[in-house]
Every structure is written in C-alpha cells, then in structure tokens.
Structure 1
Amino acid sequence: MLTPFQLSNHGLATLILIVVTLASSFCYFFGFHRRRDVAGKNVPPGSFGFPVIGESWSFVKALRENKGSEWIQRRVAKHGRVFKTSLMGSPTVVITGQAGNKFVFGCGSEFLSMKQPPSIARVTGKQNFVELTGMRYKRMKGALMSFLRPENLQDYIGHMDALVKHLLLGATKGKNTILAVPFMRKLTFKVTCSLLFGLHHESTNEALFEDFSKAFKGLWAFPLNLPGTTYHQALQGRSRIVECMLPVLQRRKEQITEGIVSPKDDIISSLLTSRDENNEPFGDEAVIDTFIALLIASHDTTAILLSLMVWKLARDPKIYDKVLEEQMGIIREREDETQGKLSWSEVQKMRYTWRVAQELMRMIPPVFGNFRKTLKDISFEGYDIPQGWQVFWEASGTHMNKDIFEDPTNFDPSRFDNPSKPIPPFAYIPFGAGHRKCIGNEFARIEALGIMHHLVTNFEWSQLIPEESITCQPMPYPSKGLPIKLKPRTFRTV
C-alpha cells in the first residue's frame, strides 16, 4: 500500500506526465499552425511565449494582481501599440489606443466576430447570443432589446425598488458588519433573475448562484480541465446550471401554451417564442447558453461597479458627502403620491452619483478587455492579422491616456459633466462601443443607482481593512471581499 507521501508523489508524477504528454502532442501542431498562418504575411512583432500555454499564465497572473495594464504596457514599450502574443491557446494580436478601439469596434462582423476563445466558450456556451453573427444575432438581439430599451425599463423601477428594499433589509438586519462584495454579487444576481428572467424560486436561485460563481471564476482561468482546477470546477458548474434550467424551460413552455405566462413577461419566455433566421425556434441549448452569458455579463459587472463605489465612498469623505447630499435631496423633494417608491424621474436626477460611477469605470474598468476572432485575413496599421487569430482590445490604453483625460490618475467625476474638452469617440469604453456595445448598459445604470440610493440614505459605513487592494478574478474586486462596518442612519428609507 502506498503511504500518503507516496500517494502525493504518485499524483504529482501523474500530473507532470499528463502535462508533458500534452505539451509533446501539441507542440509540433502549434508550431506548424503558427508558421502556416504567418507564411508570407507581415504579422505584428511580439512573442508567442511558451509552446501550448503561450503567455496565458503570466497574463492571468498579472490580472489577478491588478497589473493587467502593466503587462500590456511592457509589451507596448517593446513592440509598439500593436503586438502579437498567444492567449488562451490561440495566437492573438493585442491592439491598444483610440485608433485600435475604433478599428475593433467598427470592424464589420463578417471580418471580426465576437467569438471567444474555445476555453471561454465552453463555459458560456457556443450558442449564446454574443457568439452569434448575421441575421441569427439580429433576431436574438431583437428579442433581448424588447426588455432592455430605456423606454421599457421604466416599467421595472417599482419592482426593482421593492426588491432592493427587501433584500437590503434582510441582509443587514441585526448586523453591523457585512462583506460588501459577496453581498453585491448576490443582490444583483437576485435582481437580474427576478426582473429579467422571471426566476422567483429562492432555493433554485441560491443553487444557481453558487454554480454561476464557479463558472465565472473559470472564464479566464488557465484552461486545464483536471479535477481540482478552477477551470474544471467552472465546467462542472455549467453542467449543473444546464441540468437545473432544462426543467425550468419545459415548465415555462407549458405556462406559455396555457396562457399563464406571456412572451412579454421575461427574457426566457421571449426567447422560447422567438424565431431564428430560418423561422425556427432557437432551441433549448441557445436559450440556456444566452441565459448563462447574460447573467454573467449583467450581474457580475454591476456587482463590481457597486462594490467599487462602496470602496471609494468609504475612502473619500468628500465624494461620499456629495453623493449623500444628492440622494437625500431626492427624498426631500419626493411627492406624497409616490408612497416612498423610487421613480424613473428620480433616477434621472442622480447625475453626480452616476458621474462617480463613470469615473470609477474609467480608472478601474469592470471589463479589462475582451477578445474578437478574425473570420478573414485583415490588416491594421500595416500589419496582417491572419484568419482564425484572436484580436484583444483593452480599455486602459485610452482610459488612462493623459492626451485624452487630463490628469488621468486623479479621481475627478466632473470630467464627465459638460467637459471643456469633449471625450472623443472610442476613448471611453466601459460598455464597449459600436454596433456590439453592451445592450444592458442602461439596465446596469438604473440598477446601480437604485441600490446606491437605498444604501447611502440608510447607512454610513467604513472599511474594516483600510488598505485592502484590488484584484482581478477575472474582473476587479477588493481582494478581501470588502468587509465594512455599517452604522444605520436615524432617518431610514428601508
């Protein structure tokens, strides 16, 4: 019988053997594939890094240490604002700066698609609407936009306000400290599940939340699908989400047939009754994949923004006081007939609070960058980008550019309020830009402002770890979960 020490060594040896075998198997293929792609082409300068893993390991490590922009800038200094590398198993061209943003976001979908690296697509699903192109994408986007247009969001304000009040009261009752990051993640998850997808069953949502958390962590993890790895756990989480959602879809179809539920009630019902480019139903797989992608995109990015706002307001009393003044002013001016409910017109008055959010997204973008995939050979600034390669854009190249934003390291919300120097197109991109701009940006704005309204008007707070740093996993969060001490206000709205 093997001793525990021998078992440990045996497992390590097996893992090393697997890695070496994979490296040996793929090394020649990747080397040949890259030589074939670049033959006779003027590809950008740079390095593919190590065989198979490329530079993925150092890239993910830099993101976790909140040094992703430094990782990019070191290569920009060496190779220029367009350089090649290898990320997530594919040859990649990184493009930075305003001209690069314009190229990426303005390039037609017949040349540059939103397709993610295979390792990410395995988690989000290959049929989610982000991966789609052409008429199929337009049909699905139309079904989604029927819920996300600003004029339609007005109907959500009352429901959202009541739900936020209920969840905030439940999470803080009898507590004087909370972990702000997990609280915001769970709060935005429940709001999104309820308002957009019509999922109201508490135990189902709790189970989904745990599996979505695992899936999210695996998006930009090193794609090693072995037991115990973050990526393996992400794929397992996705499998459980699919298993949970299949009976939900079946019940929803029956409710639609019986007239209990309308296609106008929620996104799932809308997708189940929509038709693709061939006038056929999208199918369960496409609906579930889109559900997964939308929930990851919607609730986590908003949770990031809210967590960073709590973090910033705790560290900057002047900013906090201005936000508080604006939010309390809304309550003082409230007419009796609103019965204490937040209204659409009141959300539009939260201009300074949103300026704070905008400035945070400039300095710490919720989405550091993202991938596109070339469907044909394309060129940019004299360089060739072969078909099948990835293109990666990143926000810091313009967000922290002193030629675009004066004194970019200074936190100044007023730069978004009638700026003397207008912000040029494709320079401020927390929600992307062009025809693939985030379709949920207005929903995120309303949700974030509604939650901050109730938090600020009901509590004061302070950080329990004043020097808590920011980490990216894969998006930026306070590294310790942002524990805060709450002090209820004498005047409370919840």
Structure 2
Amino acid sequence: MDYLAIAVALVVVTASSVAIHLLARVRRTQPGNLPPGSLGLPVIGQSLGLLRAMRGDGGSRWIQDRIDRYGPVSKLSLFGKPTVLLAGPAANKFLFFSGALSTRQPRSVQRILGEKSILDLHGADHRRVRGALLEFLRPDMLKAYVGRIDGEVRRHLEENWAGRATVTVLPLMKRLTFDIISALLFGLERGAVRDALAGDFVRMIEGMWAVPVNLPFTAFSRSLKASGRARRVLQGITLEKKKASQAEEEQGNGKASRNSDLITCLLGLTDGHGERLLTDEEIVDNAMVALIAGHDTSSILMTFMVRHLANDDATLAAMVQGK
C-alpha cells in the first residue's frame, strides 16, 4: 500500500508540474498588446462552454456575456486555436471590407473536410474553384435537376409519411435533404453505399464542432474516421466517373454530359489550354463541403415550413387548391 501511495503521489506531482509549465508557457508567449480576455486551458480554451451554450440554445447569450464582460473586442480560444471575438457595426465593417483579413477554418474542420476546399482557398485558387462550382449552379442546369428532386421527394413521402398519423419531421427532413444532395452532387443512387455515407455524414457533423482531441473515445476522432470513409467513397465515385468519361471520348461519343451531377460537371471543366480545371483532390474536398453546406439550413427551413402548414389551415388549403 505504501508503494501504491508513493506512486500515486508521484503521478499527481508530475501532472501538476506539467500543467503549471504549460500554463506558464502560454502566458509567457502572449504578446502584451492583445485584447482583454483569457485563452483558458491549452487546446480546450472556451470550447466546452460554447458547446454547452449552443446545445441549450444559449449561444447568443454566451456571446453577449463575453461582450458585457470584456467589451466588443476580446480574445479567447476555440477548438484549439487562439480567437478574437469582434462585435458591433465597426467590427463588422472591418471584417468584411478590410483586405487585412482572410477566411480560414479551424484546423479541426480542415482535417475533416480537406485542405483544398473553397473554405480555405484565397486569391486565384478561390476564384477558380468558385467559378467551377457556380458552373454547376447555372439556372439552366438547375432546371434539369427538378425532376430528380421531385422523384426523391415522392419516394420519401411514400416510404416515411404515407399512412402515418404522426411523424417526427426534422430527422426525416435531414434524411430527405441528404438523399437529394447525394443524388445531385454524386449521382449516388439509393442503396447500401448511400446509407453508409449517411451514417458517416452524421458522425462528421458531430465532430466539426467538438474539441479537436484525437483520442479513440472522442467525437472528433469518430468524425475523422467517418471523414476518411466518406472521402474514400467520393474518391471511388470520382475515379469511376472519370473512367466512364474517358471511355465515352475514346468511343467517339464526345464528352460526357456535365448535367448529371456535380462530380461529373467538375471533371468536365477545362481551362483555356484544355487542361482540367480542378484536380481530383479539389473535386473531392469541395464535394465534401457541398455535402455539408446546404444540409442543416435546408432541412431546418423545410421543417419550419411543414410546422407552419400544420398550424395554418388556410395556407395549407390554398396550396392544395393551387397545386
């Protein structure tokens, strides 16, 4: 027992010494002209407090509390990175109109979505990728997708809504949104691959706003593994579509139609010299971003729309009559 007590005491003393050393090192490396506030514990910072507030729908209150305490400009640490919180009209003007700043995602998001995504590109590379993505979103191309979206919606309603007295709308809207995105972006038909990708997508989302600690039991670790699996699926789809396009060209059928899905569209884009506009890595990374970007906003909007119609008989009747 004496040996055990001594061992425990040594562990405690060692851990305390390391913690004190890290905190002292952080304080020593901070310049003297930083705004008020605290960076908190290394890596963790204020991430846990923000995540708790967001889960309880108190994100705005959490931010306002910091503004009340430190003023409109303060320092903190979120998701492993030193951060500056700016608030107010002057801060917004500086942020959006100043050339001194450029957007950059936290390292945790980069590791999940990839480093060649439009979220982290600047200058000519950003314009090149943005132009390629906008090619897929041209009005004439969007018209071609209406029929496919309609088919996904009809199947979804038949399988999940028809004959049921009550439904839980938000999870169903999230799955419907994912199915539509999978069909339009990747040309991925219903089946085991799409179902597996849907599960990995949920795990990816969970880890994007988690403390970036890559340990087996953490949400961030699960998200990284899910991202790896999703990336392999998209890489396989990209390779398959590239081979199909090359086969069509060799058979004299010309280039494959770019209207079928995002990956096919991006594979078919070339610059003024006939070279491909995007690399395979850029296509996969930006397909990952596109998968994430419209999911929550679209599903939540549709959920509120259904809620409104369920509580407004007049509007629902007018829509049914005008169909």
Please tell me the TM-score bracket, short chain as reference: 0.7 to 0.9
User: Larger helix proportion, structure 1 or 2?
Assistant: 2
Q: How does 1:116-265 map to 2 (within 5 A)?
A: 116-150=105-139, 152-259=141-248, 261-265=256-260
User: Larger strand proportion, structure 1 or 2?
Assistant: 1
The 1:98–1:169 alpha-carbon spacing in structure 2 relative to 1, beyond 3 Å, is: farther
Are 2:265 and 1:270 aligned?
yes
Contact in 1 for aligned 2:23/2:42 (Cα 8 Å): yes
Q: Secondary structure at 1:84's aligned position in 2?
A: strand
Q: Secondary structure at 1:113's aligned position in 2?
A: coil
Find the aligned partners of 1:64 and 1:129 in 2 and give their Cα distance: 28
Identity, % of aligned positions: 35
The Cα of 1:25 is off from its aligned counterpart by: 7.5
Q: Secondary structure at 1:94's aligned position in 2?
A: strand
Match of 1:80 in 2: 71
For normalisation by structure 2, the TM-score amounts to 0.83
Contact in 2 for aligned 1:23/1:51 (Cα 8 Å): no
Contact in 2 for aligned 1:85/1:92 (Cα 8 Å): yes
Query: What are the superposed Cα offsets for residues 169-203 of structure 1, whole Å, 9 maximum, x if unpaired?
Result: 12123433322222111100111111233222422
Find the aligned partners of 2:47 and 2:177 in 1 and give their Cα distance: 30
Supply the AA of the counterpart residue of 1:91: P
Match of 1:327 in 2: 319
Supply the AA of the counterpart residue of 1:73: Q
Q: Secondary structure at 1:128's aligned position in 2?
A: coil
Aligned residues: CA RMSD: 2.9
Q: Which consecutive aligned stretches of 4+ in structure 1 deviate over 6 angstroms post-superposition?
A: 16-22
Unaligned runs of 5+ in 1: 1-15, 332-494
Find the aligned partners of 1:321 and 1:19 in 2 and give their Cα distance: 64
Contact in 2 for aligned 1:143/1:267 (Cα 8 Å): no
The Cα of 1:162 is off from its aligned counterpart by: 2.7
Between 1 and 2, higher relative CO (CA 8 Å, sep ≥ 6) is seen in 1
Match of 1:105 in 2: 96
Contact in 1 for aligned 2:76/2:83 (Cα 8 Å): yes
Match of 1:48 in 2: 39
The 1:58–1:20 alpha-carbon spacing in structure 2 relative to 1, beyond 3 Å, is: farther
Find the aligned partners of 1:289 and 1:21 in 2 and give their Cα distance: 42
Are 2:286 and 1:286 aligned?
no
Query: What are the superposed Cα offsets for residues 191-237 of structure 1, whole Å, 9 maximum, x if unpaired?
Result: 11112332224221111110000000111012221112111111110
Find the aligned partners of 2:14 and 2:120 in 1 and give their Cα distance: 31
Which protein is bigger by CA-based radius of gyration?
Answer: 2
Contact in 1 for aligned 2:67/2:73 (Cα 8 Å): yes
Q: Secondary structure at 1:75's aligned position in 2?
A: helix
Aligned residue pair count: 305
Q: Secondary structure at 2:82's aligned position in 1?
A: strand
The 1:329–1:175 alpha-carbon spacing in structure 2 relative to 1, beyond 3 Å, is: closer
Pick one of 86, 102, 105 that aligns with 1:95: 86
The Cα of 1:265 is off from its aligned counterpart by: 2.7
Q: Secondary structure at 1:282's aligned position in 2?
A: coil
Find the aligned partners of 2:17 and 2:129 in 1 and give their Cα distance: 42
Match of 1:31 in 2: 27
Supply the AA of the counterpart residue of 2:320: M
For normalisation by structure 1, the TM-score amounts to 0.56
Of stretches 211-220 and 154-163 in structure 1, the one that deviates more from structure 2 is 154-163
Query: What are the superposed Cα offsets for residues 453-493 of structure 1, whole Å, 9 maximum, x if unpaired?
Result: xxxxxxxxxxxxxxxxxxxxxxxxxxxxxxxxxxxxxxxxx
